[in-house]
Amino acid sequence: MSAIKAFRGLKLVTLVMGVWHGGLMAAPDTHWFEQFKAEASDADLYTFLYAMPKGGDLHHHITGTALSEWWYELALKQREHGYRYYTKVTINNCNGYGGNEFSFSPYLLHFHNVLESSYNKLSDCEKSEYKRLEQLNAVEKQAWLNSIRLDAAHEGRDEFFQTHWQRLDELMRSPYLIADILVKNMQAFGAEGLIYMESMMGASGYTDPNGKPISPDTVADIYRDRLQQPDAKATGVTVRMQESILRFAGNAEDQLRHYFDFVSRNNDLYLAVNMVGREDNDKGHPLRFKDTLRELRRHYNNVKLSIHAGEVDEPNFHIRDTLLLGADRIGHGVNLIDDDELLRQLRYGPYLIEINLISNLLLEYIERYDQHPFPEYLRLGVPVALSTDDRGMWDSNITDEFFVAVKEFNLSWDELKQLSHNSLAYSFIDADSKARLVERLNQRLADFENAVEDNQKAALKDVKPVSYSFICKQYQLCQFGSASR
């Protein structure tokens, strides 16, 4: 990486954060925040962070962002579009089911969800294993809700990758349901001070209630229409999207070609393609896609890349290889810490590492937060931003990410502002929209800082945080209300 690029990356972030003074920023007086941290209870700190303006969330999978209660509520709502769902509540060892325990829909899986049209094609024995979603009794409903979040100590990476998505299955076929999940997140994130979301939110794989495919362009129009509805607009949250390919799929190169074309044609809404999926499946190694991406860059000039890399236990060169593919942002980047030379080169940009603290803990890429390289990246000058990944399955929110960061790594007020600014400065949105978002964030941060510095108690007295089970279990902060319970 050239010194010019490194300087430009530093200057970009600095210009976003404040006034440039011959290469150095005038350091504001932030002793008030250090005093606040020293005196505040955990509940006070959480309330402060909930109210704090936060910029954007650049790394989340929309089907992983929905709280279990949202899935249930919105699935039943789909009856207005003709969708009805059944879920598996018992296993009767039906003969001839034709299943494959290594397929996406293994037979031996409770709370597997299917469309009514799929249910009608089952044998009588298999039908006896399912119930309509709205007919679950209280015990069954609670078990259904728990089946798509990590709610037990023994659950981790395998439970997440091998059962959560498989259980959801045909719930993810309705584009109207996914669009409603987006708006639910806009409302929740907006209440936490976010003004921008860049969602991994695909437009392929959807069907009508009878299983007939809906074209991606039609799905994109459904999303556009939903974003124009009053409840979405009232959130004040700007949304853009990414398409995702499953990196280890046999047809991943074809997916890449298809999604580049789709994103390019729908560039008002979609900005980028992302490569997702377990990196410990070697079939998805980054260099597999080098030639395909070089081919695509000969034809497309308006598609960005933000690729998962370094979300793996062993040291490897996936992050180096991912940058070679053309990615401008790296999802997770946990094992960058093992590559000294690349770590040195990434100081001050121009690439961002999308940090997901809670995800990395619950999926066992770290055992404890003190093993996480986030503070090293942050304080070496590697651009980072906090994000939520699959917050619905963690039963958490963006405030939890900031709370963990402050509690575990003693963040300063300047570092909190830097994280929020980075989440806009490194977004893929067009320059004019980005400038407006940055200006809005700057004003909100200035107003917030002035209010809390002047009178912290008065500024926060009407703030009512909404939290979920993660922060209750991990930090015993159980006194806040929850919109999902």
Q: Where in the chain are the domains?
A: 46-66+174-443, 84-168
Q: Give percent above pLDDT 70 in the chain.
A: 91
Beta strands in 356-482 (DSSP E): 384-386
How high is the pLDDT of residue 28?
A: 56
Average pLDDT, the chain: 91
Q: What is the pLDDT of residues 78-123, one digit of tens each?
A: 999 999 999 999 999 996 555 555 566 788 899 999 999 999 999 9
pLDDT at residue 101, rounded to an integer: 54
Instruction: Please give the full DSSP string across 91-151, using - where no structure is assigned.
Output: ----TT----TTSSS-SS-TT-EEEHHHHTTS-HHHHTTEEEGGG--HHHHHHHHHTTS--
Q: Please give the structure tokens belonging to residue 244.
A: 């995702």
* pLDDT reported for residue 104: 66
pLDDT digit string, tens, across residues 220-265: 999 999 999 999 999 999 999 999 999 999 999 999 999 999 999 9
* Spatial distance between the Cα atoms of 55 and 37, rounded to a whole number of angstroms: 22
| Rounded CA Rg of the chain | 23
Q: In the prediction, which pLDDT does 69 show?
A: 97
Listed range (2-6, 244-248, 290-294) with the worst mean pLDDT: 2-6
Q: What pLDDT, in 10s, does the model give residues 129-156?
A: 999 999 999 999 999 999 999 988 889 8
Dmax over CA atoms of the chain, in Å, equals 76
Alpha-carbon distance of 455 to 98, in angstroms, equals 66
At 156 the pLDDT is 87
Could you say which of 3.30.990.10, 2.40.30.10, 3.20.20.140, 3.90.420.10 is the CATH number of the domain covering 46-66+174-443? 3.20.20.140
Q: Which residues pair with 389 in a beta bridge?
A: 60
User: Tokens in use for 470?
Assistant: 């993660």
Angle at 43 between CA 41 and CA 49, to 5 degrees: 105
